[in-house]
Amino acid sequence: MRMMKVLCVVLLAAGMSACGQKAADADLDAEGAAGHSVAVTLSTANAKEVRDELFSVGRVVSRNTPTLAAEINARVLEVRVDVGQPVALGQLLVVLDKTASELAEREAQAEIERLSVSIANGQRRVTRYRDLKSRDMMPQERLDDAEAMLAADRASLDAARARLAIARDRMSKTRLVSPVSGAVEKRHVSVGDYAQVGGPLITLSDAVNLRVEMPFPETVGQFLRAGQSLLLESPIAPGLRVEAVIGHIRPQVGALNRSLLVIADLVNPGNWRPEATVEGVLLVETRANAVVVPSLSVVRRPAGEVVYRVQPGERDHVEQVVVSTGVRFNGHVEIREGLKAGDLVVRDGAHYLTDGARISVQEETGE
């Protein structure tokens, strides 16, 4: 029995010793946790000019893509251009057979000459008949017939002159010239083909007067308006940047891509070509004194996007500030709400922090 009592005393002493050691270890862990700090670098929130921009990819099209059609029925005698060939304004492209027009012109001229002679005789006849009638030597009916014949010849002369003008107009349409400066997009006929009225002959593409069509999501439609500036660049001419102005916005939202089409006209700045890709930046707004911090300073937490701010005189602790962000550019973020210019915020190390965390400042910059 005595041995049992001694054993119980020994076990009790050992248990008390173990509990004391655990309590001491817990105190050391708490003390270590309270003294732990995160190494960070700090940055100052600055006031800078911020450009609110929208980016899109569109295409270049020609403002003029006329398809020249035949205005008369005639055989094709010459086609002086081919696909891809540049053409100048007024350059001769296609020559049609003008034989029928020439014959119509000669016929009209002959009729004009015949009627001119007939009218001259009629005028003399009417003059003589009037003289005779004044002396009662001519019945009124013969004078009336002569005057009617003279009037009919004059009307026929007007019709013949109109036929001559029509023949000459048709003859002018046997020579098709380019209405624009550009290039041949497609040739529809060859020498020997019989062209009929309305039949396509040549399709041209105006490479000088261009149009940019650029889609923007309907969600940004409230920011789009005519007169805004577009900064454009095309991979077909690397390094060439062009500024254009929005002329108008297509009123209907695209059924397939749910976008609004912005249209800007411009003169070809160099080697741009219709149907080329174009990248555009649209300047929506410029804010002169926006608050800006490094992108690393903004982290996402359950509360939203936050920044860890250091209060003056308390450089060993941080406070969590929920912010509203705006434009992101060149490694920086615009802060629209939550901070003011001059606030000191954590840059490197922000991802490892929580509200009230201890920090150890390694570096401080003015960025």
Q: Would 22 be classed as within a structural domain?
A: no
Q: Would 343 be classed as within a structural domain?
A: yes
User: For position 185, which CATH number holds?
Assistant: 2.40.50.100
Q: Would 127 be classed as within a structural domain?
A: yes
Residue 351 DSSP label: G
225 with 325, same domain: the answer is no
User: For position 150, which CATH number holds?
Assistant: 1.10.287
Q: Pick from 173, 189, 220: which residue ends a domain?
A: 173
DSSP helix/strand/coil, 252: coil
Whole-angstrom distance, CA of residue 101 vs CA of residue 201: 19
pLDDT at residue 35, rounded to an integer: 52
Q: Pick from 255, 270, 287: which residue ends a domain?
A: 287
Give 10-residue mean pLDDT values along the chain (367 residues): 41 44 40 65 91 90 92 95 92 95 95 95 93 88 92 95 95 93 92 94 91 92 89 92 92 89 92 91 86 94 94 86 90 92 93 92 78
Whole-angstrom distance, CA of residue 53 vs CA of residue 109: 69
Contacts of 8 (CB under 8 A, 6+ apart): none
Contacts of 198 (CB under 8 A, 6+ apart): 69, 70
When divided into structural domains, the chain yields a total of 4
Whole-angstrom distance, CA of residue 362 vs CA of residue 340: 23
pLDDT at residue 2, rounded to an integer: 45
Q: Would 141 be classed as within a structural domain?
A: yes
Q: Would 163 be classed as within a structural domain?
A: yes
* Residue 233 and residue 241 in contact, taking contact as beta carbons nearer than 8 Å: yes
Q: Would 18 be classed as within a structural domain?
A: no
184 with 219, same domain: the answer is no
User: For position 279, which CATH number holds?
Assistant: 2.40.30.170
Q: Would 27 be classed as within a structural domain?
A: no
pLDDT at residue 41, rounded to an integer: 93
Tokens 């261009």 -> residue: 210
Q: Would 29 be classed as within a structural domain?
A: no
Calculate Rg over the CA atoms of the chain.
46
Query: In terms of residue numbers, what domain contains 189?
Result: 70-96+176-205
Long-range contacts of 143-147 (CB under 8 A, 24+ apart): 146/122
pLDDT at residue 31, rounded to an integer: 39
201 with 80, same domain: the answer is yes
338 with 271, same domain: the answer is no
pLDDT at residue 315, rounded to an integer: 81
Give the number of residues written for the chain: 367
Structure tokens belonging to residue 167: 């023949």
**CB neighbours of residue 88 within 10 Å:** 10
